Amino acid sequence: METLLNRYRNITVLLLVIFAQLVLIAVQVRNDQDVRMVRVWSITAITPLARVLETVRGGTSGFFQNYILMRDARADNRRLQADLDRLKMENQFLRTEISTADRAKALVAFQQRTQSRTIAARVIAAGAGVSSKVVFVDRGSGSGVEKGMAVVTPDGIVGKVIAAYPTASEVMLVTDPEFAAGVVSQKNRVVGTLKGQGQSTCKVDYVPSEEKVEVGEMFYTSGDDRIFPKGFPVGVVRVVRASSPYQEVLVEPSGLERGLEAVLIVLEGVHQAIPEVPPANAPVYLGTPPPPSPGEQVVQRTGPVGTDADRLLEKYRQIGATENHKFGEGAPGTKPPDFNIKVPPPGETQGTDAANPSTVQAPAKPASPVAPSPSHPLPGSVPPTQPPHHQ
Amino acid sequence: MTEYGDRYLVGNQREQVSRFRARVMLAVPLAAILFQVYVPRFLEFLGYLELPLLVTIYFALMRRSQIGGLFIGAFIGLAQDSLSIKQPLGMFGIVKTLVGYFAASVGLRIDVEHSVIRLLLTFFFYFFHQFLYWVLARGLLGRQIPFEIQLTLVLGVLNAVVGVTLFHFLDKLREPA
């Protein structure tokens, strides 16, 4: 028996194992239940390995994804930086174009407005000297430019032509130390001579110390030098120092304030008036009064404007018309008109009209410290009306 | 076979029996099962690889022990069953038990170190495994699942090729004689 078992041991074990598994299947199928324990063993053995594998896979995948993303981000960054640089350059170019267009537009407008005959020119080069303030423009004798002609911009004078070549001209700027031009101040018409200093400011020479020049006022060309027509802006006074016998006046040239690109060469100058300085007590604008509050009496004054004498004359005229009396025709001793009868004051209607929003209340007194003349009321103001004076 | 012949055969077989460390015997089947349940999540086409079967065939062939082979097959099969949803425990267990037993029986009689022999044996046992599973599924569970011979043959070839490559690497895990 033992020999028999040894001889068929392998097949016996196989049959036992197969039989055991068949029983296992039969039990599961019959009871429709799992053998939970075996599954728990297997899953317990497998899941830790799967978790490790998933961690490694996720980490590796994440690393490569991040690496690829980072590479993409770096490439994107480079591309966007290049785009930004290009757009900045385009933006700068367009700004320059707009600025140039604005200047050209202003130049054309000034050219049409001024009475002098001018020709537009473009600054094409600067002088070579360190202290010399000279530029070259692209208009020369071929365009009618001659030595000594004035060069201006809408903002002010720029310089004068010191040499005219066939295709270009050399212009000495107002800041050149050798430049000089006759100027006059706007307020007090103080006359002087503008001289360049090789710096950004110019000096006005020969201004007597007793003359009054204020900081901030404008100087205009006086036309005395016979180069610059009278009335072109020169610059704003920045410094005034008392000195004897002449004051020291420094002016910032207004023609060079916004750089030099395009200029006008004055071929035939026409003197023009120096603009008046607005008076210090200039009329000020007065707005309409606020709307009346509910229940408030509103007096609308719409009569003719004038002085008290005018209003008195109007009153007498109405009294005369009421009593059919013609002034200056009655014989001496005749009955004079009754000046005590009540007539409505000229141009005055009194009543409550709160429901009418169009009625406005006259201001009590003007806001300006200087009362406006009744014959020249301030814009937007209504002159005060005197109450009727009974005599 | 004569008594001398039997002695010679057994002696020669004992010299050819491959030995593996216990951790290899445990880790490799686990890795094969893990591969089958994990990798097809990302690479679906690899689901056709029957790595647990290939590992069963390899260990049964190389250990040349019928009892060892059938237990290896039963162990791997039951583990595979337990990770299969709606699959009663024992289906893959019975199939792989038989595969392990017969593979070990073949390993006792022929030289299984040669790649062509391994290729043919792997192909044969893959087909046998699939057919036996189909028979058991129909006979024991009454499942009317189709048996596609052509597909099974093609997959058998693929598994055989992969198996030969896998066996080559598993050979390096053997303990030196």
Helices (H), chain A: 2-7, 9-31, 36-113, 308-322
Closest residue in chain A to residue B75, using alpha carbons only: A42
User: Token digits for A100?
Assistant: 């140039």
Identify the CA nearest to B60 among candidates B103, B20, B93. Answer: B103
B172 DSSP assignment: T
Q: What is the pLDDT of residue A70?
A: 83
Q: Is the pLDDT of residue B54 over 90?
A: yes
Give the separation between CA B105 and CA B77, rounded to whole angstroms: 19
Identify the CA nearest to A260 among candidates A142, A101, A100, A97. Answer: A100
Q: Is the pLDDT of residue B9 over 90?
A: no
The mean pLDDT of B20-29, rounded to a whole number, is 87
Element containing residue B99 per DSSP (H, E): helix B91-109
Give the separation between CA B129 and CA B56, rounded to whole angstroms: 11
Q: What is the pLDDT of residue A253?
A: 92
Q: What is the DSSP string of B50-61?
A: -HHHHHHHHHHH
Q: What is the pLDDT of residue B134?
A: 93
Would residue B140 count as lying in a domain?
yes
Q: Are B73 and B50 in contact (CB under 8 A)?
A: no
Task: Name residue A189's amino acid.
Answer: R
User: Token digits for B25?
Assistant: 């015997």
pLDDT digits (tens, 9 = 90+) for B126-145: 999 999 999 998 888 888 88
Residue of B70, B92, B105 to mutate, testing the A interface (most A Cβ within 10 Å of its Cβ): B70
Give the separation between CA A158 and CA A155, rounded to whole angstroms: 9
User: Mean pLDDT, chain B, as a whole number?
Assistant: 85
Contact call for A10 and B33, based on CB within 8 A: no
Would residue B30 count as lying in a domain?
yes
- Rounded to the nearest angstrom, the minimum Cα separation between B120 and chain A is 24
Cβ burial of A183 (10 Å; 0-12, 13-18, 19+) is buried
pLDDT digits (tens, 9 = 90+) for B80-102: 888 876 778 888 999 999 999 99
Contacts with B137 from chain A: Cβ below 8 Å: none
Contact call for A53 and B34, based on CB within 8 A: yes
Cβ burial of B175 (10 Å; 0-12, 13-18, 19+) is exposed
Closest residue in chain A to residue B78, using alpha carbons only: A38
Q: Are A273 and A350 in contact (CB under 8 A)?
A: no
Would residue B102 count as lying in a domain?
yes
Q: Which domain holds residue B33?
A: 3-171
Please give the C-alpha separations between residue A43 and each of A7, A38, A49, A186, B97, in angstroms, as whole numbers: 38, 9, 10, 103, 21
**Model pTM score:** 0.44
Identify the CA nearest to A217 among candidates A192, A198, A196. Answer: A192
Cα angle vertex B39, ends B31, B75, to 5°? 35
Give the separation between CA B124 and CA B116, rounded to whole angstroms: 12
Q: Is the pLDDT of residue B60 over 50?
A: yes
Give the separation between CA A13 and CA A298, rounded to whole angstroms: 125
Contact call for A21 and B30, based on CB within 8 A: no
Q: What is the pLDDT of residue A387?
A: 42
User: Token digits for B119?
Assistant: 């290729």
Would residue B176 count as lying in a domain?
no
Give the separation between CA B117 and CA A62, rounded to whole angstroms: 43
Domain A117-268: assigned CATH number: 2.40.10.340
Give me the count of residues in chain A.
Answer: 391
- For chain B, what is the domain count? 1
Would residue B48 count as lying in a domain?
yes
Give the separation between CA A160 and CA A175, rounded to whole angstroms: 11
Give the separation between CA A320 and CA A338, rounded to whole angstroms: 9
Please write down the long-range contacts of A281-288, taking CB distance under 8 Å and 24 or more positions apart.
Answer: A281/A368, A281/A369, A281/A370, A283/A368, A283/A372, A283/A378, A283/A379, A284/A367, A284/A368, A284/A378, A285/A378, A285/A379, A285/A380, A286/A363, A286/A366, A286/A367, A286/A368, A286/A378, A286/A379, A286/A380, A286/A381, A287/A380, A288/A360, A288/A380
Q: Backbone phi, then psi, for B154, in 5-degree steps?
A: -65, -45
**Residues 290 to 309 of A: which have CB under 8 A from any B CB?**
none
Q: Are A223 and A230 in contact (CB under 8 A)?
A: yes
Q: What is the pLDDT of residue A105?
A: 80
Q: How many CB pairs under 8 A join A and B?
A: 82
Task: Say if the ipTM goes beyond 0.95.
Answer: no
Contact call for B38 and A53, based on CB within 8 A: yes
User: Token digits for A344?
Assistant: 């409505």
Give the separation between CA A221 and CA A156, rounded to whole angstroms: 9
Give the separation between CA A134 and CA A153, rounded to whole angstroms: 16
Mean pLDDT of each 10-residue bin along chain A, 391 residues long: 75 91 85 71 77 83 82 87 92 86 80 84 74 81 90 91 89 90 91 90 91 91 89 92 88 86 88 70 62 65 66 82 78 76 59 40 40 40 41 35
Chain B residues touching chain A at CB-CB below 8 Å: 30-31, 33-34, 37-38, 42, 66-67, 70-71, 74, 78-79, 81-83, 88-91, 93-94, 97-98, 101, 140-141
- Dihedral of CA B94/B99/B104/B105: which sign? positive
